Structure 1
Amino acid sequence: MKRLISAIGLSCLCAMTSLWAQPKPAYLDDTKPIEQRVSDALSRMTLEEKVAMIHAQSKFSSPGVPRLGIPEVWMTDGPHGIRPEVLWDEWSQAGWTNDSCTAFPALTCLAATWNKEMSLAYGTAIGEEARYRKKSVLLGPGVNIYRTPLNGRNFEYMGEDPFLSAQMVVPYIKGVQSNGVAACVKHYALNNQETERGSINVLVDERALREIYLPAFKAAVQEGDAWAIMGAYNQFRGEHCCHNNYLLNKILREEWGFDGVVISDWGGVHDTKQAIFNGLDMEFGSWTDGLNWSSTNSYDRYYLAKPYLDMIKSGEVGTTELNQKVSNILRLIFRTEMNRNRPFGAFTSEAHSKAALEIAQEGIVLLKNDNHVLPIDLKNAKKIAVIGENAIKMMTVGGGSSSLKSKYEISPLQGLKQRLQPNVEVIYARGYVGDVGDSYNNVSTGQNLKDDRTPDELMQEAVNIAREADYVLFFGGLNKSKNQDAEGDDRKNMNLPYNQDALIAKLAAVNSNMVFINISGNAVSMPWINEVPAVVQGWYLGSETGHAMAAILVGDVNPSGKLPFSFPVKLSDNSAHSAGEYPGKNGVVKYNEGLFVGYRWLDKQKIKPLFSFGHGLSYTTFEYGKLTLNQKSMSKKGTITCAIRIKNTGSRAGSEVVQLYLTDKKSSLPRPVKELKGFRKVNLKPGESTTVEFVIDNALLQFYDDTLNKWTSEPGKFEALIGASSTDIKAKETFVLQ
């Protein structure tokens, strides 16, 4: 029988009521230190109760201990919104009418804000929604590095740079956890492709592991104090990441001091003994249809269920590891479900819609704007042609586990009509037909996108209205269908699907005021780039998509987003497709490019990107002054402060992201030409100026020496570079590390 509410939860309530009528045990006393409460609760549990806690009882929950009043743990997918409720043992939705959430922009958009305040606002709002829905753990955020533009899941992550990802993930975690909901940072580690994701064995050198692929996870643990980590599906050096001794025991626990819960990705566990000894705490998704074992509950057959219990009872293994796992889970419960001081949360509030709108607006990136095509000249524009399926297609449904049932979603066409009409005529043409599917896991968009016209008919209609319009706004790019921006599969190439390139070229030929708005979480190739004067990176913007996009295009809001990853001209310009392997051979993928990911590779090879990491234009202009250092040398225990004056020299208010890169002029081991080590977003009125300062300490100068197995810096010359992007360097100064 399919259950929606657990009877165990009700029995927990009864048990707690009974317990509170007696002298309060230490584990129920929230004035006691958490470690004392953990120890006390653990001492009262039976062996069977302990084993039950470390594996799932349904798709998204694990049992508590009803006898002791210890509640269940309930999880929900994120990281862009709270997933709709599903049936007890199925992915299909449960049919609730009150679980339609606020859809926040995808994390690529959040990273593109380069604004830690936006990250905190995002985490706080989504944490409130998770808390309101009575969730213990939010399965997000994701911080895997953008290694290849073909990775179908890049839209859920924060780009190619470890420093940017690390800086942006910490406030998100703090915001979520301020609501008494654990942030579960994923996917630890090296989940950089969806092709063969459940089995591929990643081989990467220690320096690249430490300098590129782990910093965001390390910051999540040591600075964000994340309460949960999710293991990745793939293998690393021959062991699956959900029970990988080196990643989980040696690095996560011993080196970083993580005291939270390690949760498997759904179906990511493969062996009982490895799961026991190699750092996993909670197992989910191994078998979840309830049918594989007929007369026996399938959850009892999880690797960390009856097989583990039998091994303990037979004396094959002890209980030390079990007690540690249960202690970690109890600590999670005391921080979340049994924290009586946590707030009640909020759901689909006006404040959440406002946060979603502001994040979307700040993350939209103006990539190109020749002849000042944008913002739209509302004084002279009488007719605007909106073309493309992505102007009307709902993007909150689909893409994998981050698919949502949004309370509402304003399409770009809706947003533009609301903003422009009746003063400006907005006409629409489909232009192309892509994916006409309208549902994912039984969540439907309610849209009927079927169109029986031929591609030629659709193209001709678009060209005709483009010829007559004052502006052409083409909404294209990708969507969340298979082999595009979607979990489970990678893209086949960097090209735009559905013959969009041919259509864009024809539109540009008949209207010089054309804007291409790329809806995607990945870089795409643009063979027509010289013919199209304006290009906007539009991401997946969530509930407030149309309002955010209209505000940017008409100039109500000045664009200030910057790219969190590079746009290569062609796929072979990307290091994974040039120096490294992708998608691997015979079940193994070798990251032969090492440290040289994204702009690091482009710098090394002197390859000009289509659009640089950190690039983003504005409707105003900024002037950078001279870079000054408070001193020209520093000791390893000292610091140097660098300062630069920024002035808004344009006619409207705007924000600029000032970026600090550092260069080691001479190193015993190869190092990138430059690396991002600081950024600050400043908002300036016309004519206003401000001084931006960065403090450089020894930690920012270090690299991981794999011959010594430690972080180190070497005395000598360094260069501080200030830029508006990784290729637009405005000022530089040299200093010496003594």
Structure 2
Amino acid sequence: MKYKDLIGKMTLEEKASFMSGKDFWQTQNIERLGIRSMFLSDGPHGIRKQAEAADHLGLNASIPATCFPTAATIANSWSVELGEQIGDYLGKEAVVQKVDVLLGPGINMKRNPLCGRNFEYFSEDPYLAGKMAAGYIRGIQSHGIAACVKHFAVNNQEERRMSIDTIVDERTLREIYLTAFEIAIKEGKTKTVMSSYNQLNGSYTNENIHLMKEILRDEWDFDGVVVTDWGGSNDRVAGLVAGNELEMPTTAGETNEEIIQAIQSGKIKEDVLDECVDRLLELIFATEEVHTNSQQEFDMEEHHKVAQRAAEESIVLLKNEGNILPLNKGVKVAVIGDFAKEPRYQGAGSSIVNPTKLDNVLDGFDQSGIINIGYEPGFERYGKKNTTKMDKACTLAKESDVVLFYMGLDEVTEAEGLDRPSLKIPDNQIQLLNSLYKVNPNIVAILSCGSVVEMPWLDKVKGLVHGYLAGQAGASAILRVLTGEVNPSGKLAETYPLQYEDTPSYHHFPGKEVSVEYRESIYIGYRYYDTTNKDVLFPFGYGLSYTTFEYSDIQVTKDEVTFKLTNTGNVAGMEIAQLYVGCKSDDIFRAKKELKGFAKVFINAGETKTLTIAFDDKTFRYFNVKSNQWEIEEAEYEIILGASSADIRLIDTIVVEGTGAPLPYDKDQLPTYYSGKANDVAVEEFESLIGYKVLVAKWDRSIPLGYNDTIAQCRYAKGGSARLAYYVMVFAHWFLIKIGKRSTANIIMMSVYHMPFRGIARMTGGVLNMPMLDGILMMVNSHFFKGLNHVLKERSNKVKVAKVIKTKAVATKEI
């Protein structure tokens, strides 16, 4: 241990208190030993340090900071260098705000397009997500602070996220859901990792020895700090044993006492606690320079320009019929859509940033060279039909050469804590689009949303520019793309299916009560669509440019692939060349091809550049469940270069020597997986894959409700008062939506409906402790008066204990 002497001076009580927060965002300090508090802040795409009352839902305003494009947006840039630059600027702002640990980036896989937090994650591909995350981490940590990669792991739905049990086979866990974390830790060298809320194959992630010790610590040699997601601790002692140093937020000493009792009773050795304290001390001292740095401010204008460049490089041009874009100088445009005046530029929840400034497209036309003849909102932002607004928009559209239609998803549709109900754009926007098309078919749609949507309306637009959630400078960036000042170079980091029913996890998302089964195994995103030759709307890696590129002269060696890339158009631009690898053997089931490298390069018109993409330790590997390690299958492999996963330009082959591992599967038992058509696998075949019987994914109504059951399950409660409370909550949610208070309705779902009972204690900072929660559960389980008496008794005891502690503290201070 590095800090053995210092730890030797700490009492058991001090060490135990060190393992949970001082308050909502700060760690404990020990003044007598000169150990300071650290400040942790949300911040995947901007610092969210709250100036007033702290919360984890983004309800209270934070100190102004640059709102960069979200991770889902930046992933479309395919630029690790851009990710590192954004991280650099995030780090600068964190230092100014005295933030020690920046809680990001988030790198969970986009298993299903309905996951409510997809806007905060990079991709459906682990290699792309991992590389982008590593860039962010290097940039953030270059300023002496810590990045915190999250949420570790398989946290791919928001519904019941604090208690759902994710059932996934070991190979899929390693290849799909952990690879991005592996890259972030080994290449980014992140100093902290945030454990996720959910269970993984039967145990909560921050207590999961296989995940936290065998993989994270032993295989990946991670020696940093693991912090729980806020309120995400279940069994504090089990978490400590698994190597979870820091529980957040504060529990007002309640879980500290659990640690002390476990050590005093001999349940665990004090050495376990000491190791965790040592790692936390290392983080505190490693981030010390944050507090010695005298910088009081940052250049807001410079940071805003960086946010604009980031957005420009991430915007994706999805359709350009008849070369309607870029717009010619002097063209008359009608600007229509509520999102033009009130831009949708970030997600909702714990990542909400209070921007230093916010660009608006309506302010930018004077310098653009195009003529804006007027603006009409056209539709109500939150879905209500408004015929008057629609008529005014159509009247304006008739007078223009081109209609710029700003459409998308509103702030309450994509939010932390709940999943989206569908992939659809609100009907009132589509009705308006159809009406606009009748009066002026020259429509360019500018789409603002953080995740996949269906587009049955695509034939009604000639141009489609997807800005995703482009941050505070996104409006200016999009306008520069529309006018041709910027040649779009973004490519999709996720697949757009024709309809939601086509997605491989359609039949098993979300898990509703007890568990969610990842029956599709390795076949998520393009791995499924390409393997089964399923038609999609836009493939993974797709994006148009105002120029064209030609690939030629592929050469493959055992270490790399080299090829030439020529800009065959009339304007300079950037191309993203993608390397996919496909194994030609059918002894082990695999996706048809997998992303194993990429390169983004700027090329002038008529210029040719030679590019090389090196192979690495992930190029040919697969995880063998028999040998329980990474292996290479001896086989012939296709080396594939494409402009997208569906637009293949060059192919060559190479024979790769294998590691001689035994074949991991019996083909006869897994026919669906070998076919790749794994969108609706029978439970028996899934059980053959994972090696055990899955539990019934329904709650057992004969068992009383407990700590890890959600408040939503009060519908099954034996106590009539609990059932009544449940139906009142459901009615309140329905009523709030009915009267247009969708944001408030969402809060009910996020912070109450799907919250497990233990979360009430964990998230209230000790206001309601576990003994009081025991009383509430008695009331829920039909012992109302006994439970009420227990709650009042424990509350009285809590108040008495608090008075004694306060008296002792005053006495100690006077001495």
TM over 0.5: yes
CA 1:586–1:396: 2 relative to 1, 3 Å: same
Instruction: Report the counterpart of residue 379 of structure 2 in structure 1.
Output: 432
1:388 equivalent to 2:315? Answer: no
Per-residue deviation, 1:342: 6.8
Instruction: Report the counterpart of residue 676 of structure 1 in structure 2.
Output: 595
Instruction: Report the counterpart of residue 476 of structure 1 in structure 2.
Output: 407
1:582-731 maps to which residues of 2 (within 5 A)? 582-629=509-556, 631=557, 639-697=558-616, 699-731=618-650
Per-residue deviation, 1:502: 1.9
Q: Which whole-Å CA distance do the structure 2 matches of 1:517 and 1:243 have between them?
A: 45
Amino acid in structure 2 at the alignment position of 1:83: R
Which range moved further: 240-249 or 453-462?
Answer: 453-462
Instruction: Report the counterpart of residue 750 of structure 2 in structure 1.
Output: none
Percent of matched pairs sharing the same residue:
39
Secondary structure of 2:174's aligned partner: helix
Secondary structure of 1:104's aligned partner: coil
1:262-273 maps to which residues of 2 (within 5 A)? 262-273=226-237
Q: Out of 317, 323, 333, which is 1:366 matched to?
A: 317
1:295-334 maps to which residues of 2 (within 5 A)? 299-301=252-254, 303=255, 305-334=256-285
CA 1:347–1:94: 2 relative to 1, 3 Å: farther
Q: Which whole-Å CA distance do the structure 1 matches of 2:525 and 2:108 have between them?
A: 13
Give the alignment's TM-score, normalised by structure 2: 0.78
Q: Out of 399, 405, 411, which is 2:354 matched to?
A: 405
Instruction: Report the counterpart of residue 228 of structure 1 in structure 2.
Output: 192
Amino acid in structure 1 at the alignment position of 2:407: G
Contact 1:667 1:714 in 2 (8 A): no
Q: Deviations over 1:278-317 (max 9, x none)?
A: 22111113xx6xxxxxxxxx5112x3x1222233334443
Amino acid in structure 1 at the alignment position of 2:381: G
What is the RMSD of the two structures over their aligned residues, measured on CA atoms? 2.1
Q: Which whole-Å CA distance do the structure 1 matches of 2:400 and 2:630 have between them?
A: 59
Query: Greater share of helix residues, 1 or 2?
Result: 2
Q: Which whole-Å CA distance do the structure 2 matches of 1:513 and 1:608 have between them?
A: 27
**Structure 1 unaligned blocks of 5 or more:** 1-34, 289-297, 437-452, 632-638
Contact 1:128 1:345 in 2 (8 A): no
1:526 equivalent to 2:474? Answer: no
Per-residue deviation, 1:661: 0.5
1:169 equivalent to 2:133? Answer: yes
CA 1:338–1:41: 2 relative to 1, 3 Å: farther
Per-residue deviation, 1:426: 4.0
Q: Deviations over 1:438-497 (max 9, x none)?
A: xxxxxxxxxxxxxxx96111111112211211111111111221xx21101110001002
Amino acid in structure 1 at the alignment position of 2:505: A
CA 1:181–1:606: 2 relative to 1, 3 Å: same
Contact 1:77 1:83 in 2 (8 A): yes
Instruction: Report the counterpart of residue 71 of structure 2 in structure 1.
Output: 107
Instruction: Report the counterpart of residue 12 of structure 1 in structure 2.
Output: none
Amino acid in structure 1 at the alignment position of 2:340: A
Q: Which whole-Å CA distance do the structure 1 matches of 2:191 and 2:163 have between them?
A: 27
Amino acid in structure 2 at the alignment position of 1:478: L
Amino acid in structure 1 at the alignment position of 2:645: S
Amino acid in structure 2 at the alignment position of 1:475: Y
Instruction: Report the counterpart of residue 307 of structure 2 in structure 1.
Output: 356
Instruction: Report the counterpart of residue 120 of structure 1 in structure 2.
Output: 84
Contact 1:419 1:550 in 2 (8 A): no
Per-residue deviation, 1:395: 3.7
Q: Which whole-Å CA distance do the structure 2 matches of 1:403 and 1:89 have between them?
A: 13
Contact 1:655 1:683 in 2 (8 A): yes
Per-residue deviation, 1:94: 11
Instruction: Report the counterpart of residue 96 of structure 2 in structure 1.
Output: 132
CA 1:454–1:275: 2 relative to 1, 3 Å: closer
Per-residue deviation, 1:251: 0.9
Q: Which whole-Å CA distance do the structure 2 matches of 1:456 and 1:397 have between them?
A: 28
Amino acid in structure 2 at the alignment position of 1:525: E
Q: Which whole-Å CA distance do the structure 1 matches of 2:617 and 2:282 have between them?
A: 35
1:376 equivalent to 2:327? Answer: yes
Amino acid in structure 2 at the alignment position of 1:420: S
Secondary structure of 1:626's aligned partner: strand
Contact 2:109 2:122 in 1 (8 A): yes
Per-residue deviation, 1:318: 2.5
Q: Which whole-Å CA distance do the structure 2 matches of 1:717 and 1:136 have between them?
A: 48
Secondary structure of 1:384's aligned partner: strand
Q: Out of 474, 488, 495, which is 2:424 matched to?
A: 495
Q: Which whole-Å CA distance do the structure 1 matches of 2:270 and 2:592 have between them?
A: 50
CA 1:713–1:730: 2 relative to 1, 3 Å: same
Contact 1:42 1:326 in 2 (8 A): yes
CA 1:95–1:377: 2 relative to 1, 3 Å: same
Per-residue deviation, 1:585: 4.5
Contact 2:230 2:248 in 1 (8 A): yes
1:510 equivalent to 2:431? Answer: no
Amino acid in structure 2 at the alignment position of 1:392: K
Q: Which whole-Å CA distance do the structure 2 matches of 1:110 and 1:699 have between them?
A: 23
Per-residue deviation, 1:420: 3.4
Contact 1:137 1:184 in 2 (8 A): yes
Instruction: Report the counterpart of residue 105 of structure 2 in structure 1.
Output: 141
Instruction: Report the counterpart of residue 460 of structure 1 in structure 2.
Output: 391
CA 1:609–1:95: 2 relative to 1, 3 Å: closer
Instruction: Report the counterpart of residue 276 of structure 1 in structure 2.
Output: 240
Give the alignment's TM-score, normalised by structure 1: 0.86
Instruction: Report the counterpart of residue 45 of structure 2 in structure 1.
Output: 80
CA 1:730–1:111: 2 relative to 1, 3 Å: same
1:733 equivalent to 2:652? Answer: yes
CA 1:729–1:93: 2 relative to 1, 3 Å: closer
Secondary structure of 2:405's aligned partner: strand
Q: Deviations over 1:565-615 (max 9, x none)?
A: 00011001111105xx11124321001000001000101221111011000
Q: Deviations over 1:68-88 (max 9, x none)?
A: 211101010011111142436
Instruction: Report the counterpart of residue 536 of structure 1 in structure 2.
Output: 465
CA 1:721–1:62: 2 relative to 1, 3 Å: same
Q: Which whole-Å CA distance do the structure 2 matches of 1:494 and 1:258 have between them?
A: 38
CA 1:645–1:190: 2 relative to 1, 3 Å: same
Contact 1:135 1:181 in 2 (8 A): yes
Per-residue deviation, 1:539: 1.1
Q: Which whole-Å CA distance do the structure 1 matches of 2:43 and 2:13 have between them?
A: 31
Secondary structure of 2:597's aligned partner: strand
CA 1:90–1:167: 2 relative to 1, 3 Å: closer
Q: Which whole-Å CA distance do the structure 2 matches of 1:734 and 1:197 have between them?
A: 43
